[in-house]
Amino acid sequence: MIEFRAAAASDAARVVALVNSAYRGESSRRGWTTEADLLGGQRTDEDAVREMTLAAGSRVELAFEGGALVACVHLKKEPDGSCYLGMLTVDPSRQAGGLGRALMARAEELARAWGCRRVRMTVIDSRAELIAYYERRGYRRTGRAEPFPEDDPRFGLPKVRGLRFAELEKPLSAAPAADRG
Protein backbone atom coordinates (compact mmCIF):
# COMPACT_ATOMS: atom_id res chain seq x y z
CA MET A 1 0.00 0.00 0.00
CA ILE A 2 1.29 3.45 -0.93
CA GLU A 3 1.37 6.10 1.79
CA PHE A 4 1.83 9.79 0.99
CA ARG A 5 3.09 12.69 3.07
CA ALA A 6 4.65 16.09 2.60
CA ALA A 7 8.43 16.22 2.84
CA ALA A 8 10.16 18.11 5.62
CA ALA A 9 13.51 19.86 5.23
CA SER A 10 15.06 16.90 7.09
CA ASP A 11 14.04 14.62 4.17
CA ALA A 12 16.24 16.49 1.69
CA ALA A 13 19.12 13.99 1.54
CA ARG A 14 16.78 11.04 0.90
CA VAL A 15 14.86 12.95 -1.77
CA VAL A 16 18.08 13.96 -3.54
CA ALA A 17 19.35 10.37 -3.53
CA LEU A 18 16.05 9.14 -5.03
CA VAL A 19 15.82 11.87 -7.68
CA ASN A 20 19.42 11.62 -8.82
CA SER A 21 19.20 7.78 -8.96
CA ALA A 22 16.16 7.97 -11.25
CA TYR A 23 17.44 10.58 -13.69
CA ARG A 24 21.24 10.47 -13.81
CA GLY A 25 24.04 7.97 -13.83
CA GLU A 26 24.06 4.21 -14.24
CA SER A 27 21.37 3.52 -11.61
CA SER A 28 18.89 5.52 -13.71
CA ARG A 29 19.27 3.08 -16.61
CA ARG A 30 17.23 0.46 -14.70
CA GLY A 31 14.15 2.60 -15.36
CA TRP A 32 12.77 4.26 -18.46
CA THR A 33 12.95 7.89 -17.24
CA THR A 34 16.73 8.18 -17.40
CA GLU A 35 18.31 11.36 -18.73
CA ALA A 36 21.81 9.82 -18.51
CA ASP A 37 22.42 10.06 -22.27
CA LEU A 38 21.44 13.73 -22.31
CA LEU A 39 22.77 15.05 -19.01
CA GLY A 40 25.47 14.27 -16.49
CA GLY A 41 25.96 15.61 -13.01
CA GLN A 42 23.12 16.12 -10.58
CA ARG A 43 19.39 16.55 -11.15
CA THR A 44 18.96 18.40 -7.83
CA ASP A 45 20.76 19.04 -4.56
CA GLU A 46 19.90 19.23 -0.87
CA ASP A 47 19.75 23.04 -0.77
CA ALA A 48 17.22 23.12 -3.62
CA VAL A 49 15.05 20.41 -2.01
CA ARG A 50 15.16 22.11 1.40
CA GLU A 51 14.10 25.35 -0.28
CA MET A 52 11.19 23.55 -1.96
CA THR A 53 10.01 22.12 1.36
CA LEU A 54 10.17 25.47 3.17
CA ALA A 55 8.80 27.87 0.54
CA ALA A 56 5.23 29.13 0.83
CA GLY A 57 2.93 27.56 -1.77
CA SER A 58 5.39 24.73 -2.40
CA ARG A 59 5.27 21.08 -1.44
CA VAL A 60 7.37 18.02 -2.10
CA GLU A 61 5.04 15.04 -1.81
CA LEU A 62 6.64 11.75 -0.86
CA ALA A 63 5.36 8.24 -1.54
CA PHE A 64 6.32 5.33 0.69
CA GLU A 65 5.79 1.61 0.21
CA GLY A 66 6.58 -0.66 3.13
CA GLY A 67 8.31 2.25 4.84
CA ALA A 68 10.70 2.85 1.90
CA LEU A 69 10.72 6.14 -0.02
CA VAL A 70 9.79 5.07 -3.55
CA ALA A 71 8.61 8.24 -5.30
CA CYS A 72 8.25 12.02 -5.01
CA VAL A 73 6.94 15.06 -6.84
CA HIS A 74 7.33 18.82 -6.36
CA LEU A 75 4.30 21.12 -6.59
CA LYS A 76 4.36 24.89 -6.58
CA LYS A 77 1.33 27.16 -6.64
CA GLU A 78 1.93 29.93 -9.14
CA PRO A 79 0.67 33.53 -9.00
CA ASP A 80 -1.70 32.92 -11.95
CA GLY A 81 -3.51 30.18 -10.00
CA SER A 82 -1.91 27.28 -11.83
CA CYS A 83 0.23 24.61 -10.21
CA TYR A 84 3.73 23.81 -11.47
CA LEU A 85 4.57 20.10 -11.25
CA GLY A 86 8.20 19.10 -11.34
CA MET A 87 10.68 16.49 -10.20
CA LEU A 88 8.22 13.61 -10.66
CA THR A 89 10.38 10.67 -9.61
CA VAL A 90 9.81 6.95 -9.20
CA ASP A 91 12.54 4.60 -7.99
CA PRO A 92 13.96 3.08 -11.21
CA SER A 93 13.37 -0.48 -9.98
CA ARG A 94 9.66 0.30 -9.44
CA GLN A 95 8.91 2.13 -12.68
CA ALA A 96 6.24 0.91 -15.11
CA GLY A 97 4.13 -0.53 -12.27
CA GLY A 98 1.54 2.24 -11.82
CA LEU A 99 3.32 4.17 -9.07
CA GLY A 100 3.92 7.20 -11.32
CA ARG A 101 0.25 7.23 -12.32
CA ALA A 102 -0.78 7.10 -8.62
CA LEU A 103 1.62 9.92 -7.77
CA MET A 104 0.30 12.04 -10.66
CA ALA A 105 -3.25 11.52 -9.40
CA ARG A 106 -2.13 12.54 -5.89
CA ALA A 107 -0.39 15.65 -7.26
CA GLU A 108 -3.49 16.70 -9.21
CA GLU A 109 -5.64 16.11 -6.10
CA LEU A 110 -3.36 18.41 -4.08
CA ALA A 111 -3.43 21.05 -6.84
CA ARG A 112 -7.25 20.98 -6.83
CA ALA A 113 -7.24 21.35 -3.04
CA TRP A 114 -5.14 24.50 -3.52
CA GLY A 115 -7.81 25.81 -5.90
CA CYS A 116 -5.65 25.48 -9.00
CA ARG A 117 -7.44 25.17 -12.34
CA ARG A 118 -4.55 23.65 -14.26
CA VAL A 119 -1.21 21.89 -13.82
CA ARG A 120 1.80 22.96 -15.82
CA MET A 121 5.17 21.27 -16.30
CA THR A 122 8.26 21.42 -18.47
CA VAL A 123 9.92 18.39 -20.06
CA ILE A 124 13.06 18.17 -22.18
CA ASP A 125 11.54 18.25 -25.66
CA SER A 126 13.66 15.40 -27.02
CA ARG A 127 12.15 13.03 -24.39
CA ALA A 128 9.39 11.81 -26.72
CA GLU A 129 8.52 8.76 -24.59
CA LEU A 130 8.12 10.89 -21.48
CA ILE A 131 6.02 13.51 -23.27
CA ALA A 132 3.84 10.69 -24.63
CA TYR A 133 3.41 9.36 -21.05
CA TYR A 134 2.11 12.76 -19.92
CA GLU A 135 -0.08 13.15 -22.99
CA ARG A 136 -1.76 9.82 -22.17
CA ARG A 137 -2.64 11.42 -18.83
CA GLY A 138 -4.29 14.46 -20.39
CA TYR A 139 -1.36 16.90 -20.66
CA ARG A 140 -0.89 18.83 -23.89
CA ARG A 141 1.95 20.88 -25.31
CA THR A 142 1.28 24.60 -25.01
CA GLY A 143 3.66 25.57 -27.82
CA ARG A 144 5.89 27.42 -25.33
CA ALA A 145 9.48 26.30 -24.84
CA GLU A 146 12.59 27.58 -23.11
CA PRO A 147 16.28 26.68 -23.41
CA PHE A 148 17.86 24.32 -20.88
CA PRO A 149 20.23 26.26 -18.55
CA GLU A 150 23.37 24.76 -20.11
CA ASP A 151 25.82 26.78 -18.05
CA ASP A 152 24.32 26.07 -14.62
CA PRO A 153 25.63 22.80 -13.11
CA ARG A 154 22.86 22.86 -10.46
CA PHE A 155 20.57 21.42 -13.18
CA GLY A 156 23.02 19.03 -14.78
CA LEU A 157 25.78 19.03 -17.33
CA PRO A 158 24.52 18.71 -20.91
CA LYS A 159 26.01 15.95 -23.02
CA VAL A 160 23.95 17.28 -25.94
CA ARG A 161 23.76 20.95 -26.90
CA GLY A 162 20.56 22.74 -27.72
CA LEU A 163 18.33 21.04 -25.16
CA ARG A 164 14.98 22.76 -24.65
CA PHE A 165 12.12 22.45 -22.21
CA ALA A 166 8.68 22.01 -23.76
CA GLU A 167 5.79 23.22 -21.63
CA LEU A 168 2.83 20.89 -21.07
CA GLU A 169 -0.42 21.75 -19.36
CA LYS A 170 -3.55 19.98 -18.15
CA PRO A 171 -6.79 21.64 -17.09
CA LEU A 172 -8.15 20.35 -13.80
CA SER A 173 -11.81 19.65 -13.42
CA ALA A 174 -13.48 20.46 -10.13
CA ALA A 175 -13.43 17.71 -7.52
CA PRO A 176 -16.43 15.39 -7.67
CA ALA A 177 -19.40 16.59 -5.57
CA ALA A 178 -18.81 13.83 -2.99
CA ASP A 179 -15.26 15.12 -2.45
CA ARG A 180 -16.26 18.75 -1.94
CA GLY A 181 -18.13 17.81 1.18
- CATH classification at residue 104: 3.40.630.30
Range of the domain at 137: 2-180
Number of domains in the chain: 1
pTM, full prediction: 0.90
The pLDDT tens digits along the chain (181 residues) read: 999 999 999 999 999 999 999 887 777 777 767 777 888 788 899 999 999 999 999 999 999 999 999 999 999 999 999 999 999 999 988 888 899 999 999 999 999 999 999 999 999 999 999 999 999 999 999 999 999 988 888 788 888 889 999 999 999 986 554 444 4
Measure Cα distances from 99 to 27, 33, 123, 136, 181 in Å: 18, 13, 19, 15, 27
